[in-house]
Structure 1
Amino acid sequence: MLPESSYTRGGTLAGKPLTGLVDPVRLLGLFDEGATVVLQGLQRYHPPLADLVAALELELGHPCQANAYLTPAGAQGFAVHSDSHDVFVFQTHGTKQWEVHGTDGPGDLLLEPGVVAYLPTGTPHAARAQQTASLHVTIGINQLTWRALVERVVRDAVAQVPDDHLPAGWLDEPADLSSGLGHHLRGVADRLVAVDTDARADAEVRRFLTSRPPRSAGGLRDRVALADGIGPDSILERRAGVPCRLVDEPDDRIRVLLGDRSLVVPARLRPALDEVARREAFTPRDLVAHLDLESALVLTRRLVREGLLRVG
């Protein structure tokens, strides 16, 4: 891994200093010398990968990210190593010879455009470009684990233990420490036994489906369309990778989980929202079986502002 200073430079913008800017001359020089160019978090900049990663997250229920690796002909970017997450690899340009270590020892795999490989967590591997420059993309699955979930539940139970001082003199009377520790551990155990697992599972769904990265590409265009006016026959499309999960709330209301946020609305809107969730594209007039036309227009305009819908 090369130091950042070897391929970046400083600069100014409107008189303000900037650091960490990629220096193209240095970068290309390092590439000529055999360095691999790594584009991390590419789903933040490349719309097709953004759509793919968002769809995978909703399908798998695990955070995902995309990186790209551009390696000069005959070069190898990394020595044999393993990743702490599952990885899907797909080749987009050139070929790359992969050395993959399994239970039966190392094996070779040649990736060319159209070929995809899956590397489970902890699989040792290395890859070398062949006769031409090679570009491959990795989709990393950053797994949510049972241990992390249990730790969150236990942490909540432990948080109810008073943060009082240990009794003075416990060094000479460890029985006092033992008694108090037993009391608090029994309290934690009782709280854990009483955990409503259904409610915790629902809370995890809400947490995941309100903490995804924003999906706002084209948002300015949609705002202009809203200003120009959305009519009964305007084509509206579900934004790719944005969920529309409905959960019940008190006081005859429902919460709409929208990926990076949630929206609380009257429960009477559920049939119309169910219709929105089922369709990839529709018009406000398509919702008149569930709402009057004016209400359908108000709802769809709000869903455009919230990022669930885009104007077709």
Structure 2
Amino acid sequence: MDALQFLLHPYAVDAFLAHNWTSKAIAISAKGQHRFSHLFSWDQLNDLLNFHQFNYPDLRLALDEKVLEESENERLTQWCQQGATLILNQVHKRVPAIAQFAAELRQILGFGTQVNAYSSYPNRQGFSCHYDTHEVFILQIEGSKQWCVFQDTLKYPLPEQKSASQSAPTDPPYLTCTLQPGDVLYIPRGHWHYAVACESPSLHLTLGIHVKTGIDWLEWLVQDLRQQEEWRKSLPTKCEATSIGQHLTSLVEALTDQLREPDLGYRYRSYLDSLGQPIKTYDFPRQAGFDQFPQGIDTQFRCVQFQPIQVIALPEQEGFRILVAGKEVVLRGVTTTLVEHLFQPQPFTGRDVLDWLPGYDWEIDVMPLLAHLIAEGILFVETGVRDG
């Protein structure tokens, strides 16, 4: 079960994409199972507050439909005692389990992800009714919270089209639900909503999916056009024989030709994939050349996770060029079988590599190859905890 299937379970992914994604909110019951206890808890919230430094607005407080001033963070405990909602942004950058979960969802959906944590207290409303400009999943961790979701008043709002500049809907909510631990609520971007904690303190994660739109694609295309001399050329003056209309017509023809390029979609998808950062970059002391083979030939390795990998065969079967996680390495004198297996998500051992490289010597050939990939942060030594 991948991360998206796990998130939506028992609701089928195909049904969700067909009936809900970007169009209709849905609450999914966990039937009493605390499905997200491995991701977050009150103890982990306290660890973040006690041992990490958060600056405003990554740490905010909200009470009675208003976000409190930055200076009020100094009185965090007192405000929470009065029922304020506490918001910690970007916990996916601080909690490994959340980082891995968010990264896997990013790879599946193809769009950026962000996870924030919210703690709130009984019968107090933190935020006023509003909408978000990204897709939202609410993962209830502890306690219970009642949600009301209303129809959109502006279809598919862009990031700059905030709800503060729009009029709230006057119709009643089309979805009212109370989330219990393990439950999920999906809210499409642009759909107004608010929430109130019930009888006990509530802790939930908000998973934001920052989708791309046609506007984003056009902005990427404009950046691409900036590299072409034809598009940087000055438009004709009023004094020249060539009119501005004629010049623009030639540009339209050039643009039409570019839009017909068969690999345009692939190039944009590759660009989006390149925006994702690996969740794991450092692995010391192994990247410094120590303890890289703790079990010798039986040591387990895993390729960097949740990153697109591009393998390019070099001319005349000289080897392969590997592009992954913003890095490039060249592997010479290796087999296609090795490359096909080495960069899969499943872990493997040194013995497996010898099987993929028949006739190669473990100490002379294979160990230096693996050590190089470890030093580059492309391979990681498995230590019992799933690496990213």
TM-score, normalized by length of structure 1? 0.80
Looking at structure 1, the residues matched to 333 and 273 of structure 2 have their Cα atoms a distance apart, in angstroms, of: 20
Q: Which moved more, 1:278-287 or 1:293-302?
A: 293-302
| Residue of structure 1 in register with 2:290 after alignment | 227
Instruction: For 1:117, give the aligned amino acid.
Output: L
| Structure 1 portions without partners, runs of 5+ | 8-22
Counterparts in 2 of 1:16-27, with a 5 A limit? 23=74, 26-27=75-76
Q: Which moved more, 1:80-89 or 1:277-286?
A: 277-286
Counterparts in 2 of 1:14-163, with a 5 A limit? 23=74, 26-102=75-151, 105-106=172-173, 107-157=175-225, 160-163=230-233
Q: Which moved more, 1:122-131 or 1:289-298?
A: 289-298
| Residue of structure 2 in register with 1:6 after alignment | 72
| Residue of structure 1 in register with 2:343 after alignment | 277
User: How has the CA–CA distance of structure 1 residues 190 and 223 changed in structure 2, closer, same or farther, with 3 Å as cutoff?
Assistant: closer
Instruction: For 2:264, give the aligned amino acid.
Output: R
Counterparts in 2 of 1:237-248, with a 5 A limit? 237-248=302-313
Residue 342 of structure 2 is aligned to residue 306 of structure 1? no
Alpha-carbon offset, residue 29 of structure 1:
1.1
| Residue of structure 2 in register with 1:211 after alignment | 275
User: How has the CA–CA distance of structure 1 residues 162 and 44 changed in structure 2, closer, same or farther, with 3 Å as cutoff?
Assistant: closer
| Residue of structure 2 in register with 1:258 after alignment | 324
CA contact (8 A) 2:287 2:377 kept: no
User: How has the CA–CA distance of structure 1 residues 223 and 155 changed in structure 2, closer, same or farther, with 3 Å as cutoff?
Assistant: closer
Looking at structure 2, the residues matched to 270 and 298 of structure 1 have their Cα atoms a distance apart, in angstroms, of: 18
| Residue of structure 1 in register with 2:250 after alignment | 186
CA contact (8 A) 1:304 1:310 kept: yes
Alpha-carbon offset, residue 273 of structure 1:
2.3
Listed one character per residue, the Cα deviations across residues 33-60 of structure 1 (whole Å, up to 9, x for unaligned) are 2211111011000011000011011111
| Structure 2 portions without partners, runs of 5+ | 1-66, 153-170, 383-388
Alpha-carbon offset, residue 261 of structure 1:
3.5
Instruction: For 2:290, give the aligned amino acid.
Output: A
Alpha-carbon offset, residue 136 of structure 1:
0.7
Instruction: For 1:227, give the aligned amino acid.
Output: F
Instruction: For 1:101, give the aligned amino acid.
Output: F
Instruction: For 1:299, give the aligned amino acid.
Output: L
Q: What is the RMSD of the two structures over their aligned residues, measured on CA atoms?
A: 2.8
Instruction: For 1:116, give the aligned amino acid.
Output: V
SS state of the match for residue 66, structure 1? strand
Alpha-carbon offset, residue 262 of structure 1:
3.9
Q: Which moved more, 1:46-55 or 1:214-223?
A: 214-223
Q: Which moved more, 1:250-259 or 1:184-193?
A: 250-259
SS state of the match for residue 352, structure 2? helix
CA contact (8 A) 2:278 2:306 kept: no
CA contact (8 A) 2:321 2:328 kept: yes
| Residue of structure 2 in register with 1:19 after alignment | none
Looking at structure 2, the residues matched to 177 and 124 of structure 1 have their Cα atoms a distance apart, in angstroms, of: 55
Aligned positions, number: 288
Instruction: For 1:259, give the aligned amino acid.
Output: A
Instruction: For 2:324, give the aligned amino acid.
Output: L
Higher strand proportion (structure 1 or 2): 1
Listed one character per residue, the Cα deviations across residues 192-243 of structure 1 (whole Å, up to 9, x for unaligned) are 414564433343343333332232266125336x413423221213444344
SS state of the match for residue 274, structure 2? coil
Q: Percent identity?
A: 27
Which gives a bigger RCO, structure 1 or 2 (Cα 8 Å, sep 6+)?
2
